[in-house]
Amino acid sequence: MSKTQHGFYYVQRYAKSHISKWTVFFLFIVFHINACHKPEPSFPSPSIELVNADGFVSNDSTFLLGEKIQIRINASTNSDVALTHFNITGIRDSLITSFDTGIYENTFDYTLSLSKGIALKEEWQFYVRDRQGRKSETLSLFLVKDSASIFGEIIHLNSLVLGAQNNNTTGSFFSFETGQIYSLADAFNLQSKINLLYFYDLIETDANTIASPGANIDESVFGGEFGLANWTSRNTVRFKLESDLTVTDFDLCSNDSLIVTNTFIFSSGNRKAKNLTPGSIYSFVTDNDLKGLILVKEVYGLNDGQIVFDIKMED
């Protein structure tokens, strides 16, 4: 072998030796990194079910118009993160209502209270998501209107007058059960019966406002010894502005047809009917699913003023 050939042979052996060492070193590093990096755990989607129990609807069913219905939903995360999102969607004829509830629970139990609406068939859908965006299956429930359905009777309360928070002569609180108006002190002693209140909002610029004790009202509005902050029972009513209804529509309403046509799911409503003006019409739903309509007739003054309104509600 010549010197040239011998030198070339030495270079090949040297290169192969070093390539082999670097390969082994590289494989060692890769193996070490993979050994230290554990794969992310894989979790199934959350689970959701309609609870089959006395008093709750869990299968497609037929109901009379206006009949009270309760649906109970139970959901659980199947991962290491909480449930953060709950959706309810109602499909009634061509009307779709969908709203979300923010939650942060590993298990979630919810009861939906509603009344059979005027649509021949209603579909209600429910699902949850966890914090990583994993979505449960979507549950569907169909509610069909019984062909024997008729419209129901209503109660008409005419020209009710409530005073604002600084009105010293007219009470600010009203009870659906008694049909009476109360001062703050008297209402304090009848907390479980009080449903509506009236005030003039100078803080949130909501102006003339009808709400309920369960609304988010600043403590300074109804303060003192009998103030809302000291109440232990606070009923909640939710409201929706019915801008398509006219005063004539309201006046002609002689049964609950207008009410069931223009109602909503309690959770989707607003806690206040605000910036009220004469002619405004609001639908309302109480936390025990009593439904009705309010027509504002007159508004006077500011925080020492008053409001005049009519109510038509389910009997």
Rounded Cα gap, residues 282 and 271, in angstroms:
12
* 239 and 307, same domain (yes or no): yes
Looking at 145, 169, 195, the residue that finishes a domain is 145
Looking at 14-18, 25-29, 86-90, 191-195, which range is the least confident one? Answer: 14-18
* 194 and 293, same domain (yes or no): yes
Give me Rg for the CA atoms of the chain.
32
pLDDT at residue 45 greater than cutoff 70: yes
> Is 48 within 8 Å of 110 (Cβ atoms)?
no
Q: Which helix (H) or strand (E) holds 155?
A: strand 154-163
Q: Residue 15: its pLDDT value, please?
A: 45
> Is 87 within 8 Å of 135 (Cβ atoms)?
no
pLDDT at residue 4 greater than cutoff 50: no
* 139 and 176, same domain (yes or no): no
Q: Residue 82: its pLDDT value, please?
A: 96
* 75 and 165, same domain (yes or no): no
Contacts of 191 (CB under 8 A, 6+ apart): 213, 231, 232, 233, 234
Rounded Cα gap, residues 132 and 81, in angstroms:
7
Per the structure, how many domains does the chain have? 3
**Mean pLDDT computed over every residue of the chain:** 90
Q: What is the pTM of this model?
A: 0.78
Helices (H) and strands (E) counted in the chain, each on its own, are 4, 17
* 107 and 224, same domain (yes or no): no
Q: Residue 28: its pLDDT value, please?
A: 56
* 75 and 161, same domain (yes or no): no
Q: Residue 33: its pLDDT value, please?
A: 55
* 284 and 174, same domain (yes or no): yes
Domain range for 16: 1-38
Residue that wins the pLDDT comparison between 114 and 226? 226
* 18 and 52, same domain (yes or no): no
pLDDT at residue 9 greater than cutoff 90: no
Strands 139-145 and 61-63: what pairing?
parallel
Q: Residue 11: its pLDDT value, please?
A: 43
Looking at 101, 116, 145, the residue that finishes a domain is 145
* 28 and 53, same domain (yes or no): no
* 21 and 64, same domain (yes or no): no
* 116 and 177, same domain (yes or no): no
- The predicted model gives 278-307 an average pLDDT of 96
pLDDT at residue 226 greater than cutoff 70: yes
Q: Residue 39: its pLDDT value, please?
A: 62
Measured in degrees and rounded to the nearest 5, phi and psi for residue 103 equal -135, 170
Quote the distance between the C-alpha of residue 256 and its chain's center. Answer: 24
Eight-class DSSP state of 137: P
Rounded Cα gap, residues 153 and 158, in angstroms:
16
pLDDT band at 238 (very low <50, low <70, confident <90, very high): very high
Share of the chain above pLDDT 90, in %: 79
Rounded Cα gap, residues 286 and 93, in angstroms:
24
* 172 and 136, same domain (yes or no): no
Residue 116 maps to which CATH number?
2.60.40.2550
Looking at 102, 128, 145, the residue that finishes a domain is 145
Tokens (6 digits) for 297:
């007739």
Q: Residue 277: its pLDDT value, please?
A: 97
pLDDT band at 97 (very low <50, low <70, confident <90, very high): confident
- The predicted model gives 274-300 an average pLDDT of 96
Looking at 86-95, 187-196, 286-295, which range is the least confident one? Answer: 86-95
